[in-house]
Amino acid sequence: MLKPEANKARTVLSLPSVWDFQLAGETFDSAWVRHPLPDPTPMAVPGSYNSQKATAAYRDHYGWAVYQTRLTVPSAFLTQRVWLRFGGVTHRAQVFLNGELLGEHRGGFLPFEFELTARLPLPEGALLTVAVDNRIDFTTLPVGTSPAEAQAAYQPSGVPSIDVAEARRAPFNRPNFDFFNFAGIHRPVCLYTTPQTYIQDVAVTPSLDGTTGLLRYSVTTSGATAVSVTVQDQAGVICAKATGPNGVLRLQNAHLWAPGKPYLYQVTVTAAADRYQLAVGVRTVQVSGTKLLINGEPFYFKGFGKHEDAAVHGRGEDDCQNVLDVDLIHWLNANSFRTSHYPYAEEMYDLCDRAGIVIIDEVPAVGLGWGQDGRAYRDPAIYANHAKTLQDMIARDKNHPSVVMWSLANEAALDQHPTLARDYFHRLYELAHVSDPASRPVTGVSYPNDYQKDLTTRTMDVVCLNRYYGWYNLSGDLDAACDALAVELDWWAAQHKPVMLTEYGADTIAGLHNVVPGMFDEEFQVAYYRRLNAVLDRYPFVIGEQAWNFADFATIQGTLRVDGNKKGLFTRDRRPKMAAHYFKDRWAAVPDFGYKR
């Protein structure tokens, strides 16, 4: 799905940034969608509703919540087609216009839209209602445990009072993942227009023929029409032209898009009265032997997993935060991150295209398959949802030069039902390859499991491992942690695959210091990374190190979490811990290319 853009053929109108809002419960009153909410409170959009109010009722809400605003379609729009577009609503949305259901969308991290043209003209100030459901269960992505499932699986504690209180607890979300279950209208909402015959999709796939850049393109339009495509370089000079819905554009002596050196061309598509422009990069990605090659050179991932997470916006799209984070990524001399554990807002990919930062793009399939007797891998509805989400993510992000690899999941259970899991993920792996016109490498991120029993991870193009030797296991013993990591890497050596760590880390309380490093202090976090990195450096097939996490982030309450997850290199408000300085120095000395020839 194309990102809306304003140009001489199209208009974009952002909707108001503060909406009316009211919490509901496991259902909401159907009268609410036809009338102004009975007891509304202001709520900023985009943003999570959990973090905008000073009561636990909002933070810990379970079920539906309802947003409302007034929508006026300007008369000037009436000669065109008009669309209402949501960048992302977490996790499930029902959208009503003047009481009528426009449609529903499941999944909290990808865009959806409705065409309004047939309903125009609308009365001024039409009532737009968005009902949002934050409930998660074993069928949703990300995965949670519903109250009914939790009750069915409950093992008595042996303490009568606890068992009684457990049975009486008010329903709440039990995420099978370690980030706060923020909810709401998380990404921008807009009206946009297109001409009657319009450009539905553009795919541009780069490749290289010597020094000539080839852009294979494909344009889908809503009706038969002539299509023309031009390419301009950064100076605005037209350097290639083609006509027809499919073709190849040739760029002599192409400037490459590369990590740290992001050259972007502008592709302009014209079809009937419509026009669409996008920035593209000439760069190739492929796996060859035990290397991942960008533009034919062996790339080394230096970076982290991130989260969309900030104090007030929660998971809401936040351009200020994103611009700062990109700058901090440069400050660290990092070159990459994984969109753990869901596709991020489109605005971040645009920034990374411009900044030359490499992205591993992840489906929100986190927590899949655990403790469910393998039923997740047998349930066609779960597979169908997973496959659709993967395809929607690829459809949205396929043109970004920053995206170099797709991640099918984070930490699915892979060693409990090894054959079922492998078959399930193999279909997704194939689907990712055929859905992406560029057929980028595909991975699935594996959790500390029995890697010898796990039959899935070894079938991926790149083996991505989350490993917490020295933290969750062998806790505090860095000699043993290094030993365990080396034992495992010795095993992977025989698989002849590129391997990278996509997570390793230690919770660290900023400002806690010790002469003798110990868990949770800043010296330990530095020692942990220094020691484990020395092991990684010994293995030529290890193609990257992504620390967990870029910054501290919010999680649910629990005995393992003191005000959230503290494994950040930065605090949640982006103050560097000692480990950030350590990585800044290390990564200054580790080149993006050819680190391990």
For position 447 contacting ligand GCB by CB under 6 A, the verdict is yes
Note whether 411 binds ligand GCB by CB under 6 A: yes
Determine the Cα angle at 393 with ends 392 and 397, to 5°.
Answer: 120
Give the integer Cα–Cα distance in Å for 71 and 118. 16
User: From residue 575, how far is each of 508, 519, 550, 584 by CA, in Å?
Assistant: 13, 20, 11, 14
List 346, 503, 522, 545, catalytic entry: 503
What character string, x for contact with ligand GCB (CB under 6 A) and - otherwise, covers 336-365?
-----x------------------------
Instruction: Give the contact letters, 163-182, x = binds to ligand GCB (CB under 6 A), - = no.
Output: --------------xx----
**In the complex, minimum distance from the CB of residue 200 to ligand GCB, in angstroms, rounded to a whole number:** 36
Six token digits for residue 369:
């398959």
Number of Cβ within a 10 Å radius of residue 315: 31
State which of residues 567, 572, 574, 577 lies at the interface with ligand GCB (CB under 6 A). Answer: 567
Cα 464 to Cα 81, 167, 187, 451, 503, distances in angstroms: 44, 40, 29, 12, 9
Q: In the complex, what is the shortest distance from the CB of residue 405 to ligand GCB, in angstroms, rounded to a whole number?
A: 17
**Count of CB atoms situated within 10 Å of the CB of 517:** 18
Which of 68, 466 has the CB closer to ligand GCB? 466
Question: In the bound complex, what is the minimum distance in angstroms from residue 17's beta carbon to ligand GCB?
Answer: 30
410 near ligand GCB, rule: CB under 6 A = yes
The residue number whose beta carbon is nearest to ligand GCB equals 178
- Asked whether position 321 contacts ligand GCB by CB under 6 A, the answer is no
- 503 as an active site residue: the answer is yes
What is the pattern of x (binds ligand GCB, CB under 6 A) and - over residues 470-509?
Answer: ---------------------------------x------
Annotation marks residue 149 as catalytic: no
To the nearest 10°, report the CA torsion of 543, 546, 547, 553: -170
* Smallest distance, ligand GCB to C-beta of residue 307, A: 9
What is the Cα 340 distance to its own chain's centre? 6
Q: Which of 362, 411, 488, 522 is catalytic?
A: 411
**Eight-class DSSP state of 586:** H
Residues binding ligand GCB: number (CB under 6 A): 11
Which residue from 449, 466, 508, 546 is in contact with ligand GCB, where contact means CB under 6 A?
466
Q: Between β-strands 336-338 and 358-362, what pairing exists: parallel, antiparallel or unpaired?
A: parallel
- Alpha helix positions (H), 359-402: 375-378, 380-397
| Binding residues for ligand GCB restricted to 522-551, rule: CB under 6 A | 548
77 binds ligand GCB (CB under 6 A): no
Q: How far is the CB of 295 from ligand GCB (least distance, A)?
A: 30
Here's the x/- map for ligand GCB, 229-268, by CB under 6 A: it reads as: ----------------------------------------
How many residues are given for the chain?
A: 597
Q: Which residue's entry shows tokens 């996008």?
A: 278
Q: Which residues contact 350 (CB under 8 A, 6 or more apart)?
A: 3, 279, 400
Asked if residue 461 binds ligand GCB (CB under 6 A), the reply is no
Q: Please check whether residue 309 is in contact with residue 179, taking contact to mean a CB–CB distance below 8 angstroms.
A: yes
CB proximity list for 229: less than 8 A, separation 6 or greater? 217, 219, 241, 242, 243, 247, 249, 267, 268, 269, 270
User: Least distance in Å: CB of 411 to ligand GCB?
Assistant: 5
Task: Tell me, letter by letter, the H, E, C secondary structure of 223-254.
Answer: CCCCEEEEEECCCCCEEEEEECCEEEEEECCC
- Tokens 């979300």 sit on residue: 173
Min dist CB 179 to ligand GCB, Å, is 6
Query: Quick one: angle between helices 522-536 and 578-589, nearest 10?
Result: 20
In the complex, least distance from residue 473 CB atom to ligand GCB, rounded to whole angstroms: 12
Examine residue 80 and tell whether it contacts ligand GCB (CB under 6 A).
no
- 502 or 533: CB nearest ligand GCB: 502
Q: Can you tell me which of 565, 577, 583, 595 binds ligand GCB, judged by CB under 6 A? A: 565
Active site residues: 411, 503
Q: Which residues bind ligand GCB (CB under 6 A)?
A: 177-178, 341, 410-411, 447, 466, 503, 548, 565, 567
